[in-house]
Every structure is written in structure tokens, then in C-alpha cells.
Amino acid sequence: MKKRVLTTESGAPVADNQNSASAGVGGPLLQDQHLLEKLARFNRERIPVGAPPTPLGQWGRVVHARGGGAYGHFEVTDDVTGFTHADFLSTAGRRTEVFLRFSTVADCLGGADAVRDPRGFAVRFYTAEGNYDLVGNSTPVFFVKDPIKFPDFVHSQKRDPLTGRQEPDTVGDFWAYPPEATHQVARLTGDRGIPASYRHTNGYGSRTCQWTNAEGAAFFVKYHFRTNQGMGGLGAGQAAELAGRDPDSHQTDLLQAIERGVNPSWTLHVQIMPAAEAADHRFNPFDLTKVWPHRDYPLQRVGRPVLDRSPDSVFAEVEQAAFSPGSFVPGIGPSPGTMLQGRPSAYADAHRCRLGVNHTLPAVNAPKARTARNHGRDGLMAANPRGLHAKNYEPDSYGGPVETGRPPTAPLAVTGHTGTHEAALHAKDDDFHQAGEPYRLMSEEERRRLVANIAGGLSRGSRDDVIERNLAHFHAAGPEYGRPVEAAVRALRED
């Protein structure tokens, strides 16, 4: 009798159910209690939305609370089998069902769409080997480079606990400390900081992933979803008018476009770095605050996602959608990047807190091609007994699902001692050169708008020391960048 395969909750096959992954043989496993405590507490800092504070309440997302989404398909257009043995990427012309959720990051569920904020861009591929979740943003970089700083970052950008509003001094104070935030600040305050719609923005995997081919060769990969509708952004005045007239503008646009048959699409490209090149690259390729120059690793086309069906229920499908950067499929896995390493457990924990232990059972989260086979049982809102008479342990002698014994990706090399460490510096590592590059590539009109946006935000703060620390970062990104920003801030402060 053919043995059934043991799977994760997302339907991906389990290679080894006897040994936990560790940093080398006998190496450490989940020992950073401070990191785990910060992330777990962060996930529980909201009360249920629209229900009493009971276990049956629908807990709100701490970030990415406001969003919209749609279903569609992803079609492979180019051969990438030399880089990955992922089944859904194996054949040109192959189609895989997808669900794509867009979101704002900092604002609450009742906020407006047309605001200056990064956009979440989360894609779920319902593959034959389980769900693959590609969780990204509308920008290729982020504000911080270590997951232990993520709760601090979000706290600084959310509504102040005393005043109940976003405070310029708090936002600016955090930005003034981690110098690596300067790169993302430039992208957030530029012309793309307020997208015209969900359809008119790019998406990026942001974090670096690992692909493994059939021969076991490993490659590090960055994802780029380029919109086929053309990039479009809103000026501050346009955005304020639109947010007041239609707070749901982006959701309205997406819904109406699909109703008209104008199905939005993107072209997926990847940058591919042979794994052996990572250690000696001139900067840390796993640093989430940096991009890989295209001249080093050109974009290679992979395929095309198209959205053609709106959800039947926003609550059941958009709000209950639960993505995780840890939902990989064979041929695709994590890189050693610290942000990616810290996020899978945090995302999954957030979903168990927000939706319950059975968060993978709703249709939007369940794998399509196979039933998840594991030994999870019971729990709040259990809807699938997963075999009333099956044993819920492994191994067993009753024909239960078994591990595959086939590693899904190539192993990551580890060296050194346990402890907290700053990332090893590469020859060209710094936090400011790339932060200044977008400015140097802009037209004069684009620079003028960027400077006005930065100065408008900084000048609203009341603390001179916070403003001066931020100005120092822009000067470090380039004197041609820092001088006009400082002049604009001083002019506004004198008015």
C-alpha cells in the first residue's frame, strides 16, 4: 500500500519528523528568549475586534490590518528549472491558483486607503505540494535589519498610547536611531509612497530566499513583481482629497476593475545569486535594508500572476487570510537572513493568536491540491476531524502519514559561537550609500517633491534634537541630498 505523506498545516511534505533543525549537529535551537518574548507579546497587543474579549473574538492584525485581495492564477512563462525544482515552476505554461492580499502597514482597520504607507503584497500559491506564501511589500527594502527591532519599529509608527494618534516626534525619534532606516524613509516619502491604487504598484519579496535545483545546487533569490498597469502615485493633496471622498478607494478600484474584466496582472522577475558568491559579496546580500544592483544580478523573468476573481466574503477570505513566510514548498526555502529567520514563527504565532489553532482550515488558508495530513487535533472551532479513527502520533503501525526523508532545500552553512552578534561587515557595507541612490537617480522635479515630503514630516516634530539626528542621516546619504532637506526643514520651522 502506498504510504501517505506527512505534511505541515499548509500541505507541504515533512522531510524529518524525528529531529528538530538546529545550527549544526547539536547546535542551538530557539534559545533567544528575549526575541521570542518580544514577538509573542507583540502578537497579543490587540483586543478582539467586533466581539467581546472572549476566545471567540476575531482578534485584529497588529500590522497590515486594512487590506483587500483577489484570486487569480500564476502562469509560468520562462524556464527556471536550472535554479529550482519547485513543482509549480517546472513547466512553461503551467498555471497555479493564487490569492493576493494588499494592505496598508501602519494604519488600523478603519483607516483610509490613500495614505503614505508601504503596501503589503502577499501572494499565496496553491501548489500541488502545498501552499507557498510569498509575503512582501511594495518596497524592496525595509526600516530595520533584525527581527528583534520589529516590535520597536511598529510601536513607533502606530498611534501613541497617550494621545491615540500618530505623533511626529515619536516617528522621527525612531527613524533617527537606526541609520539603516534612511533608505526606506527615502522610498516611503518619494512619489511611490502613496500608490494610485493596488493595481498600480509593484510588489517585492524583499527578503532573500533560497532556491535549490534538482542536483542540489543552491541559489539566493530576490522576487520582483512589476505591475503591468504602469506605476502610479498620488501627491499629498490628491491623496487627502481622495481619502476624504472615498476612504475605500483602492479596494473600490480593484473590485470594479475585475468586474469590468480589466484583470490586473504583474510580471514576476527574480534576481539570482549563486550561493557561493554570498560570503564574499561586497555588501551583505541578506540585509533587508539593501537592494541588489541589477547590473550585478539582472532581472530574469519567471511568470505572470493575473487577478480575475473577487472574494465572496471580505471577512472570510481577506480578513481571515493568514500568510506565513515559513510556508515553503520543496525547492524553495529560507536564506540565513535574520529578518526572514525571525518571521516564520512570529507570523504563525500571530495567526494562532488572532484566528486560533485551526487557522489553516478556512478555505482561503487550506491547501487545494492535497489535504493536510498531520496530527493536529481538537482546538477552538475544529471543523475537520482529519480521520476519526486515525492515530494522532508518528511513527505508528497503523498506516498513518510518514515523513519523506527528502530535504526540501539545500542546507545552510553555520560557523561560530552562540550569542548575540552584529552581522559580519562586508567590504562595502554601509547604511547610507544605497539610501542616497534613489535621490541621485531622480529628476529635479522628483527631488523637489521628495524634499518637500521629508521636510513636511520632520518639521511637524517639536524636538530639535530629533530633527538634527534625522538631518545627519540625510547628509550622510549625500551632501547633495542633505543640504536641500535641511534648508527646507529650517524654512518650515521658521514660518
| pLDDT tens figures, 245-282 | 999 999 999 999 999 999 999 999 999 999 999 999 99
pLDDT of residue 400: 83
DSSP structure string for 266-317: EEEEEEEEEGGGSTTSSS-TT-TT----TTTS--EEEEEEEEEE--S-IIII
Q: Phi/psi of residue 175, each to 5°? A: -60, -30
In which band, very low, low, confident or very high, does the pLDDT at 25 lie, cut at 50, 70 and 90? Answer: confident
CB atoms within 10 A of CB 84: 29
Contact partners, residue 103, CB within 8 Å, separation at least 6: 64, 65, 66, 67, 68, 119, 120, 122
Amino acid at 482: G
Q: Report, in this order, helix, strand and coil percent for the chain, each rounded to 5.
A: 30, 15, 55
Domain range holding 159? 63-168+197-373
Residues 106 and 154: beta-carbon distance below 8 Å: yes
Check whether 468 has a pLDDT greater than 60: yes
In which band, very low, low, confident or very high, does the pLDDT at 454 lie, cut at 50, 70 and 90? Answer: very high
Structural domain contains residue 16: no
pLDDT of residue 359: 87
Residue 325: CATH number of its domain: 2.40.180.10
Number of domains in the chain: 1
| Beta strands per DSSP E along 138-258 | 203-204, 209-212, 218-227
pLDDT of residue 385: 55
pLDDT of residue 57: 47
Q: Phi/psi of residue 48, each to 5°? A: -60, 140
Spatial distance between the Cα atoms of 60 and 69, rounded to a whole number of angstroms: 17
Structural domain contains residue 73: yes
- Prediction pTM value: 0.91
Q: Phi/psi of residue 86, each to 5°? A: -55, 125
Segment 151-169 mean pLDDT: 89
Structural domain contains residue 5: no
Spatial distance between the Cα atoms of 464 and 145, rounded to a whole number of angstroms: 27
pLDDT of residue 344: 83
| pLDDT tens figures, 470-493 | 999 999 999 999 999 999 999 998
Structural domain contains residue 205: yes
pLDDT of residue 31: 84
- Known catalytic residues? 64, 137
Structural domain contains residue 218: yes
In which band, very low, low, confident or very high, does the pLDDT at 425 lie, cut at 50, 70 and 90? Answer: confident
Structural domain contains residue 255: yes
Average pLDDT, the chain: 89
Structural domain contains residue 306: yes
Residues 10 and 133: beta-carbon distance below 8 Å: yes
Structural domain contains residue 129: yes
Sign of CA dihedral 105, 106, 110, 112: negative
pLDDT of residue 1: 55
pLDDT of residue 39: 86
Residues 182 and 435: beta-carbon distance below 8 Å: yes
The more confident residue out of 215 and 361 is 215
Check whether 371 has a pLDDT greater than 80: no
Check whether 44 has a pLDDT greater than 80: yes
Check whether 50 has a pLDDT greater than 90: no
